[in-house]
Amino acid sequence: MAIETLVLGAGQDIGKSCVVVTINGKRIMFDCGIDTRFFDSPTHRYPDFTLISPNRDFNSALSCIIITHFHLDHIGALAYFTEVCGYNGPIYMTYPTKALAPMMLEDNRKVMVDRLGEEELFSADQIAECMKKVIAVNLRQTIQVDEDLQIRAYYAGHVIGAAMFYAKVGDAEMVYTGDYNMTPDRHLGAAQIDRLRLDLLITESTYATTIRDSRYAREREFLKAVHKCVSSGGKVLIPTYALGRAQELCILLEDYWERMKLKVPIYFSAGLTIQANVYHKMLISWTSQKIKDRFSKHNAFDFKNVKKFERSMIDAPGPCVLFATPEKISSGFSLEVFKHWAVSENNLVSLPGYFVGETMGHKLTSNKQAKDDADTKIDIRCQVHQLAFSPHTDSKGIMDLVNFLSPKHVILVHGEKHKMATLKDKIHSELGIQCYDPANNETIYIPSTHYVNAETSDTFVRSCLKPNFTFQKCSSVDICNSTTIDKSLMPELQVEDERVAEGVLVVDKGKKAKVLHQDELLLMLGETKQDS
């Protein structure tokens, strides 16, 4: 049988991750995200769910939904799919993801409705109803979804609670990575997974062609740029996700501020990030080993130098560092602050993330003319500094994971088209693994494994046990080329057992399988011919 993979989002693109996989009759939706670049078009923002079921009978069409982590491009459409589209089946995610997801969904709902004036597609109450359908899972816990479908979560790094998910139906096995990081950072460990026997690996490919510098070199460069700006009386805007990167960079700045005895205030924009820090304090067991080891003496998320930032402080004099959402400076508070601070050459916008498309962050990094969401030109005189503090793995990490798992097939998602094509060719040429990079709304079919239990005949077993020795006298060249330290210990006679088991798999009408010796098959065929 074939494993059918329908890519509804993140196909040759980064945004609205949603992949529907059919394994031996079981259908799983991995992630249910939105494209955060589109604010005026629900059609572009959400996956096309009608491709799962034209008559919108999603409960019959899906066995379950699996959410890898709480970022909006992986979970943003979930409440819409359950409360508006009507899906009532099981949803699986880790405990931290279940805790943090409602905050992300509600914050996004408020931005879309209150700030942008969009029609409300689902309410706060409906988000709560959606989360009631969620079944939280532990890492490495095998979950029996039904009689045939088994799933298991593995630590992915990336953000707190992020997980890769393994799924098995019959003999067919696969892994969907979501977003992951193969190297540890200051607050999270590296991704960890067992060596599995996979038919298919579906992996993100955000940094498909990039090999990043060491973390320490990036940290030094970031701290140097921030310190230079605030020492000159400037303001530093760091647009970032409220969950994950904000905590990573705050730990870094907190340590630097203590060492350098700096008194310049560091601020969080009010609301979501402060709530997120509370949850990070509670979820220490999901963090890096270094943070866990220090926890009895100090909670790394108790930031002494970080304070709450109010809107009235935007034009206040004096240097400061501000973390504000959203990361892409596409709307909301980060865009509001950016318009005020971009006019001064003393100020700095530090971009720690990855930017694609027509986002403000992408325009700044590519030196394009910048306009806001109302198409008004922004006067940009400030310094712009980009540094990839990304929680995604790089090209080497992707290759290491693929090589470690050695699946029969690989599908790339969550990446830019031309970079994915390069990585696809590299996986095929260097690892000899068939690789695919489907576009959105495209379906890929790959063969799945089917194992058969077979009996063996006595004659075949005896043939396996029979030795087949070969003897070869070593020449002087063999002795010279030997790696044996003492050449005098090299035997003059080499003995090898080139045993070959020659068998034939036979399946009778009752579908019972048996392995016979080739001589038995010839005898059996001869008897069949005489009978006829």
Instruction: Tell the residue number behind the tokens 């003319």, with chain if given.
Output: 369
Q: Is 79 helix (H, G, I), strand (E, B) or coil?
A: helix
What stretches of 253-392 adopt beta strand conformation (E)?
A: 266-269, 306-309, 320-324, 348-351, 383-386
Q: What is the rounded CA–CA span in Å between residue 353 and residue 358?
A: 15
Q: What is the rounded CA–CA span in Å between residue 76 and residue 96?
A: 16
Which residues have C-beta within 8 Å of that of residue 485, sequence separation ≥ 6?
none
Element spanning 279, H or E: helix 272-282
- Identify the bridge partners of residue 443 per DSSP, sorted by sequence position: 6
Residue type, 364: L
Q: What is the rounded CA–CA span in Å between residue 178 and residue 193?
A: 13
- Identify the bridge partners of residue 28 per DSSP, sorted by sequence position: 21, 64
Q: Which of 118, 129, 173, 204 is catalytic?
A: 204
Dump the DSSP string for 241-275.
-TTTHHHHHHHHHHHHHHHHT----EEEESSHHHH
> Are the C-beta atoms of 9 and 47 separated by less than 8 Å?
yes
Q: What is the rounded CA–CA span in Å between residue 160 and residue 181?
A: 12
> Are the C-beta atoms of 202 and 18 separated by less than 8 Å?
no
- Identify the bridge partners of residue 22 per DSSP, sorted by sequence position: 4, 27
Q: In this structure, what token pair is assigned to residue 461?
A: 């077993």
CA 510 to chain CA centroid, Å, is: 45
Which residues have C-beta within 8 Å of that of residue 514, sequence separation ≥ 6?
454, 455, 456, 457, 505, 506, 507, 508
Catalytic status, residue 502 = no
Residue type, 328: K
CA 391 to chain CA centroid, Å, is: 10
Sign of the Cα pseudo-torsion (142, 413, 73, 157, in order): positive
Q: What is the rounded CA–CA span in Å between residue 75 and residue 32?
A: 5
Query: 406: exposed, middle or buried (C-beta count within 10 Å: 0-12, 13-18, 19+)?
Result: middle
Residue type, 39: F
Catalytic residues: 204
